[in-house]
Amino acid sequence: MTLYIGREASKLWKRICAETTTEVNLLLDNWKYLLAGLIFQYIHGLAARGVHYLHQPGPTLQDLGFILLPELGQDKAYISETVFTFIFLSFVLWTFHPFIMKSKKIYTVLVWCRVLAFLVASQMLRIITFYSTQLPGPNYHCREGSKLARLPKPESVLEVLLINFPRGVIYGCGDLIFSSHMIFTLVFVLTYQKYGTRRFIKQFAWLVAIIQSFLIVASRKHYTVDVVVAWYTVNLVVFFIDKKLPELPDRSNGSSPLLLPLSTKDKDSKTKEENHKLLNGNSIDPADWRPRTQVNGKTLEDANGIHVDTAMNGA
């Protein structure tokens, strides 16, 4: 038993070392994209902090979700945050599973480059929306009479730049018309939908995303429109950006090389080159040459000789 555990531990350590070497090489090639994505997360938080200074509390807008869903109350607001934390941590752990699992389909660095691209595009749209129109926040700390509903004018630029993390993010107001929690949730679920391998986990992830949507509205953290906009916008953003990015190499067969696939432009140029060679009479692969027989001025392609004999007899 001890020998078996020692052998498995040795295999696991070798797997971790090999995967670390691979991921470090990828990180050296893609660190700029990861850094840019992480910096934009700070910019997104800074923008949310800035719009809080512009927030004007007022009567809560009429909302169908508020009418249909029972209000959880301020003391149960932690439920939606708990569900979001579960989604976030589960996805992060899944992206690092190639370090310890035998079945590998993704590269951690490449997946996070893709995820950050989706997040940045969605968050840019979110910043544009909540700076275009400021709405009175429906959350409890954003209502009239709350000390956190209005932020006093900052005494220095440093006060704004520090954004009072994480309290300033949790108790923000004014960053509406687009739910930040739903951006992260949908990006994570869509990513696992494409690169995950467990069907029941995919179905469970979509169910949790739907539950999270209802909890956000029931907790009065966002209006229903914020959740609805996030649902169709994030799906569109992921769809169009995913088409522009090169496809990730599939590791499920265990023999894929550590090379990024060709971009769409490279594929187009390669196709044009092949067509040019064919037009000039130069075949791409000699194995694709087929015997051709000319009968009555017509060129017949033959794979097994039967059609040629028939044509000759008819002639």
Q: Residues with catalytic annotation?
A: 181, 222, 226
Give the chain's largest Cα–Cα span.
98
Q: Is 258 left (phi over 0), alpha (psi -120 to 50) or beta?
A: beta
Peptide bond into 166 cis (omega under 30): yes
**CA atoms 70, 54, 132, 112: torsion sign:** negative
**CA atoms 203, 204, 205, 206: torsion sign:** positive
| Cα 47 from Cα 163, distance rounded (Å) | 9
Which residue is it, tokens 């044009």?
A: 272
Amino acid letter at 39?
Answer: I
Q: Are 57 and 143 in contact (CB under 8 A)?
A: yes
Which residue is it, tokens 């531990």?
A: 9
